[in-house]
Amino acid sequence: MNEVLGVIGTMLSLGTPLVIASAGETVSERAGVLNIGLEGVMLFAAYAAFWVSWKTGNPYLALGAATLVGAIALLATAPLVIHLGADQVVVGTGLNLLALGITGTLFVQAFGKTGRLVQVETVPTFAGDLGINVVMLVAVVLVVVAWWALFRTDWGRAVRAAGERPEAARAAGWSVFRLRLQAMAIAGLLGGLAGGYLSVAQTNSFAENMTAGRGFVVIAAVTFGRWHPFGAAGAALLIALSYGLQYLIKAYALPLPYQLFDALPYLLALAVLVGAGRAKSGPAALAIPYKEDR
């Protein structure tokens, strides 16, 4: 029984940032913007949360700062992606390198080469073994709000048009630039919250490159979730289940190489992409720059 709770608790704890970031990325990709730089956004935010919690001892303030930093980091690339129509993969790669370099350098400058173990104040948990925290509840709300905004509002219809047929959104009087900017802001905010969660909820410290590919896992989850907030959340939780399985390996000391289970989330993400297949290849104008007449 304890093991079951352990697996579920691990899945929820490690799945929460994936769920949150995937809700934001879903909105952004629906608007036609693919954020390869999500990994970098999360890394910037993880450092910001760590730093603020270390300075103030307040994990909630830390999460707020992370959310803001995430939005700033992603929006800093918006002029390139949206207005200048640069390649989204290239810009995202640049952002990822930048995050790796800046957070790594700041961390080593402040805490020494080996990353002297600094522990910071974290978000408290309740419900015993299951270890629920308030961010998990926020995650549920965010997913529902993302669904509501995308599928139950005029704005959502316009966002989806911007990613499917931007000319149509333009003809209906919407600015595709502004819609995409708003969608990127949402992806940045949620990506930031997810990144902050890594350093002040999931763990209590920072490490160089601590996101370890989670940003890319989120993008895989959005694809498998067929660009739907509920689908993406489900896919994110499914991938997080593999973290729960890692917990089982440790609990039972199973004679399997631990690396297999460290590789599992990525293998599972690949598997879900294969499963998603060609059935629907996503918003038609995804990652395609749009030229707007002013």
CB neighbour burial string for 2-32, b if at least 16 within 10 angstroms, e if fewer: eeeebbbbbbbbbbbbbbbbbbbbbbbbbbb
Among 212, 245, 248, 249, binds another protein (CB under 8 A): 212
Say if residues 155 and 30 touch (Cβ distance below 8 Å).
no
DSSP state of 253: T
Please report whether residue 217 would count as binding another protein according to CB under 8 A: yes
**Shortest distance, position 55 Cβ to another protein, whole Å:** 18
Please report whether residue 84 would count as binding another protein according to CB under 8 A: yes
In the complex with another protein, the residue whose CB is nearer, 64 or 104, is: 104
In the complex with another protein, the residue whose CB is nearer, 2 or 114, is: 114
* Burial class, 98, CB count within 10 angstroms (exposed 0-12 / middle 13-18 / buried 19+): middle
Q: How many angstroms separate the CA atoms of 211 and 204, rounded?
A: 14
User: Between 8 and 37, how does the x/- string for binding to another protein read (CB under 8 A)?
Assistant: ----------------------------x-
Q: Single out the segment in contact with another protein by CB under 8 A; choices: 121-129, 132-140, 198-206, 262-270.
A: 262-270
In the complex with another protein, the residue whose CB is nearer, 64 or 94, is: 94
In the complex with another protein, the residue whose CB is nearer, 84 or 172, is: 84
137 sits in which H/E element: helix 134-152
Task: Give the HSE-up count for residue 26: Cα atoms under 13 Å, Cβ half-sphere.
Answer: 33
Please report whether residue 100 would count as binding another protein according to CB under 8 A: yes
Among 93, 125, 175, 204, binds another protein (CB under 8 A): 93
Binding-site size, another protein (CB under 8 A): 50
In the complex with another protein, the residue whose CB is nearer, 86 or 134, is: 86
* Burial class, 284, CB count within 10 angstroms (exposed 0-12 / middle 13-18 / buried 19+): exposed
> Which residues inside 106-125 make contact with another protein, applying CB under 8 A?
106, 108-109, 113
In the complex with another protein, the residue whose CB is nearer, 84 or 168, is: 84
Q: Which residues are CB-contacts of 213 (< 8 A; sequence separation ≥ 6)?
A: 39, 266
Q: How many angstroms separate the CA atoms of 17 and 42, rounded?
A: 9
Please report whether residue 129 would count as binding another protein according to CB under 8 A: no
Place of tokens 């969608």: 183
Q: Single out the segment in contact with another protein by CB under 8 A; choices: 7-15, 99-107, 143-151, 159-167.
A: 99-107
> Which residues inside 36-65 make contact with another protein, applying CB under 8 A?
36
* Burial class, 229, CB count within 10 angstroms (exposed 0-12 / middle 13-18 / buried 19+): buried
Give the footprint of another protein on this chain (CB under 8 A): 36, 77, 80, 84-87, 89-91, 93-106, 108-109, 113, 208, 212-213, 216-217, 219-220, 223, 257, 259-260, 262-263, 266-267, 269-270, 273-274, 276-278, 281
